[in-house]
Amino acid sequence: MGSYGTVSLAVPGRSSSAWFPSPACVAVKSAEIEHSDSLQYEERFLYSLRGHPNFVHCYGTDISLEDDDEVVYNLLLEYAAGGSLQSLIDSRQEETMMSEGEVAFYAYQLLVGLSDLHAMGIVPCDLKPLNVLVFPMQQNGLNRLKIADSGLAIQDGKIEDYDNEFSMKFRGTLQYGSPESLTGIHQAPRDVWALGCITVEMITGESVWGEWCNRADLRIKIETQEPKIPENVSVFCKDFLSKCLNKDSKGRWSAKRLMTHPFFLRNLAPVIYWTKVDCDYQLPENPFGYDDQWVNNKDLFSTFNRDSYYDCMDDETEYAEAVQII
């Protein structure tokens, strides 16, 4: 993630039963404290979205002190056993690409999440398969998808210029950028465009813009060419994609409106199936044993040896002062 961060899988340690009363694993996004503005920015969005079935759940934050005296900021996230939507797409061969029914099932879940985000005034700005996590379900081998990574999100049209890398006119990943986003216009329709690009990838396994090209050529394609809609799909799917990939942002359907498109009415019938999936959702149990669903701790993941470290200090107060950085 980004230039400074890492993502790790945290598993219960043999001596950590007090911290891990359940065997759950968690994903930990980490960055040195001086480079953690993006994570802290993301934390604010994840806190407001906690408990929503279509967004990755965040358990809270942690500040840790590492062996090299490095202070690290951590986001504690639910672990997606199925990896990312990108890995799911890459795992399919030509003869086993997703059916329209499976594509519709996944696209609908993303639309539910986008519709709720847009209603809250939030534009993710970086919707792409790599930022969609996969949670395997028991029914029919399908998966629940959750939107993740809000580090570039904008709320109510406000851009937080905490770093030059994130205050450029274009935000996000160019391959999924809409024509208007190239000029710095970041509103809800750009996410709908990205959803269209993702849908094409789920169907074909390839980018809507074809083979890889450099950024300059890709910008020209986005500005001057029409995105390629697959031929070997139903008229319903083609029409759905045309509503997502309209180069005129004002002509694109909203996420809420797209949820009523015949593409879904045809492929998700009976709709009772989706309703059952939605009702089956349960808030992930907090693996840290907190009654509160939000953890705000220090040294949960510290790698230094406390005993030897304290031996070098006058008292624990000195240690406490060493990690009081926010």
pLDDT tens digits for 231-271?
Answer: 999 999 999 999 999 999 999 999 999 999 999 988 886 44
Domain 6-79+284-322 belongs to what architecture?
2-Layer Sandwich (3.30)
* 31 within 8 A of 269, measured Cβ to Cβ: no
Give the model's pLDDT for residue 284.
Answer: 66
Pairing of strands 58-65, 295-298: parallel
Asked whether 209 and 226 are in contact (CB, 8 A), the reply is no
Count of residues making up the chain: 326
Per cent of the chain over pLDDT 70 is: 71
CATH of 85-279, one of 1.10.3230.20, 1.10.510.10, 1.20.140.10, 3.40.190.10: 1.10.510.10
- What is the pLDDT at residue 293? 61
pLDDT value at residue 166: 42
Nearest-angstrom CA–CA distance, 239 and 241: 5
Terminal Cα-to-Cα distance of the chain (whole angstroms): 23
- pLDDT of 158 strictly over 90: no
Residues 143, 24 contacting (CB under 8 angstroms):
no
CA-based nearest residue to 125, from 46, 47, 184 = 184
- Give residue 44's pLDDT: 83
Q: pLDDT band for position 311 (50/70/90)?
A: very low
User: Are the C-beta atoms of residues 143 and 212 closer than 8 Å to each other?
Assistant: no
pTM here? 0.80
Task: Identify the weakest region by mean pLDDT among 57-66, 106-115, 125-134, 262-271.
Answer: 262-271
CA distance 227 to 199: 12
Distances in whole angstroms, Cα of residue 22 to Cα of each of 55, 210, 280: 22, 45, 21
Cβ 70 vs Cβ 32: under 8 Å: yes
User: With bands split at pLDDT 50, 70 and 90, how would you rate the model's confidence at 51?
Assistant: confident
Q: Which of 194-208, 234-248, 270-284, 293-307 has the lowest mean pLDDT?
A: 270-284
So which residues are the catalytic ones?
126
85-279 has the same fold as 6-79+284-322: no
> Token digits for 309?
């470290």
Q: Dump pLDDT digits (tens) for 73-113.
A: 888 888 898 999 999 999 987 667 888 999 999 999 999 99
Q: What is the pLDDT of residue 276?
A: 52
Low-confidence winner among 60-69, 75-84, 108-117, 289-298 (lowest mean pLDDT): 289-298
In the predicted structure, residue 160 carries a pLDDT above the cut 60: no
Mean residue pLDDT of the chain comes to 79
Domain definitions of the chain by residue range: 6-79+284-322, 85-279
Closest CA to 71 of 291, 311, 308, 303: 303
Judging by DSSP bridges, how do beta strands 6-10 and 26-32 pair with one another?
Answer: antiparallel
DSSP β-ladder status, 71-78 and 122-123: unpaired
Instruction: Return d(Cα 21, Cα 224) in angstroms, integer.
Output: 56
Find out whether 226 and 247 touch, Cβ atoms under 8 Å.
yes
Q: Residue 78, Cα to own-chain centre: how many angstroms?
A: 12
